Amino acid sequence: MITIKEIASRLGMSTTTVSNVIHGKTREVSAETIERVQKFLEEVEYVPNINARNLAQGQSKIIGVVLKSLDFRLWHSSNILNDPFVSEMIGGIESAVREAGYYMMLYISDDIAEIIQRISIWNVDGLILFCMMDDDGNRVAAKYHKPIVCIDTYSSEKNDNFVNVGLDDEKSTCEAVKYLIDNGHRKIGFVTDNRVGVDRARFWGYRKALAEAGIEYSDRDFFLLEPAEEAIDRNIEKLCRRARDYTALFCCSDIYATIMMSALKERGLRVPEDISIIGFDDNLFSRVCTPRLTTVHQDADEKGRVAAQTLVGMITGKAPASKKIRLETRLVIRDSVRKIE
């Protein structure tokens, strides 16, 4: 690759003049000189060395995005990007990062120690972290001293080290379960694949709605769907047998809502005639499944965009308005809930 010094030598100009033309600083450069330099650049197909320029400015122009996979094994797959919510969120991050003139570097691991080891040697201008549990976010922040934005993180400690972009998961779930109760349902199961983070907050929203309606909760109402490949079929069979004792299920994601709908249908239970189902996310599955799924809508693309835009602002010296950014949700009523008279 030809250098600015070599271009200047061949044109008989100073390196400063050539550099100014390349970088658009042409206020004090004559039109004739600009034309000569630009014509020569075209002839040699000159490509600026972006890395060198960024390093000279003390920046990499790279945003690191880290996903903690938490053993996502839906449909016998270990790929977290199979989750439509995650894919849409990553798309939102990438769009906002690119629009801001940065590049995105993605890393996925289920091991927080490995994540910390990797990011400690990265030359990136900031981090976006997803699916950090308990004190994961604070552990990363203790090793990485540049701006950090987390998505959907519930930290066990006071969150002073990073900004979190998320929802009021407890309130959103409470409103969804209240909708089931208002439609006459009193035997409502809760379906999830874990007891931490976002799903824990949604569980407390479910419990709150039951308590406010005077409905007693039992641990039997908690349906734990283990996503591990060797357990998922056995798990679904067990859950479908138990589901016959309920009139409705609240599922922590649209993925599990549609999995349960399909499994129940295969076993002769109709949705919503025999059992009603509500999901969470409002992803593509919720709109194309039969019946169409009643669910809590969140904008995954917006969540990714807000996280990226907030991080870029922090990198450029703009303080975030809040350490906790909460996006809006709404209940989308479709066809999977029946009113019990």
Give the pLDDT confidence of 137-165 residue by residue, as tens digits. Answer: 888 888 888 999 999 988 755 656 789 99
Does residue 83 belong to any structural domain of this protein? yes
Does residue 19 belong to any structural domain of this protein? yes
Residue 209: band (very low, low, confident or very high) from pLDDT cuts 50, 70, 90: very high
Q: Residue 226: what pLDDT?
A: 76
254 and 197 together in one domain = yes
pLDDT over threshold 50, residue 73: no
Does residue 212 belong to any structural domain of this protein? yes
Does residue 56 belong to any structural domain of this protein? no
pLDDT over threshold 60, residue 58: no
Which residue has tokens 């271009």?
7
Residue 75: band (very low, low, confident or very high) from pLDDT cuts 50, 70, 90: very low
Q: Residue 265: what pLDDT?
A: 93
Does residue 333 belong to any structural domain of this protein? no
Q: What DSSP string describes 43-104?
A: HHT----HHHHHHHTT---EEEEEEE-TT--GGG---GGGSHHHHHHHHHHHHHHHHTT-EE
Q: Residue 53: what pLDDT?
A: 57
Q: Residue 227: what pLDDT?
A: 66
Could you tell me the residue range of the domain that residue 30 belongs to?
4-48
The CATH code of the domain that includes 119 is 3.40.50.2300
Q: What is the DSSP letter of 304?
A: H
Residue 88: what are its φ and ψ, rounded to 5°? -65, -40
157 and 184 together in one domain = no
91 and 129 together in one domain = yes
Does residue 286 belong to any structural domain of this protein? yes
305 and 163 together in one domain = yes
Residue type, 136: D
176 and 287 together in one domain = yes
Average pLDDT, the chain: 89
% of the chain at pLDDT higher than 90: 61
Q: What is the mean pLDDT of residues 262-274?
A: 94
Q: What is the mean pLDDT of residues 274-303?
A: 96
Does residue 274 belong to any structural domain of this protein? yes
Q: Residue 135: what pLDDT?
A: 83
Q: In angstroms, rounded to a whole number, what is the distance separating the alpha carbons of residues 311 and 115?
A: 19
Residue 293: band (very low, low, confident or very high) from pLDDT cuts 50, 70, 90: very high
Does residue 337 belong to any structural domain of this protein? no
Per-residue pLDDT tens digits for 83-134: 889 999 999 999 999 999 999 999 998 888 899 988 888 889 999 999 888 7
Give Cα separations from 132 to 79, 168, 264 (angstroms). 17, 17, 32
Strands 163-166 and 133-134 come out as unpaired
Of 193, 180, 296, the closest CA to residue 247 belongs to 180
243 and 135 together in one domain = no
Per-residue pLDDT tens digits for 159-199: 567 899 999 999 999 999 999 999 999 999 999 988 888 99
Rounded to 5 degrees, what angle do the CA atoms 155, 152, 133 make?
A: 40
76 and 143 together in one domain = yes
34 and 10 together in one domain = yes
Of 125, 171, 115, the closest CA to residue 146 belongs to 125
Number of domains the chain is built from: 3
pTM above 0.75, yes or no: yes
173 and 255 together in one domain = yes
222 and 158 together in one domain = no
189 and 96 together in one domain = no
% of the chain at pLDDT higher than 70: 91
322 and 285 together in one domain = no
How is residue 142 written in tokens? 């203790």
Q: In angstroms, rounded to a whole number, what is the distance separating the alpha carbons of residues 40 and 19?
A: 13
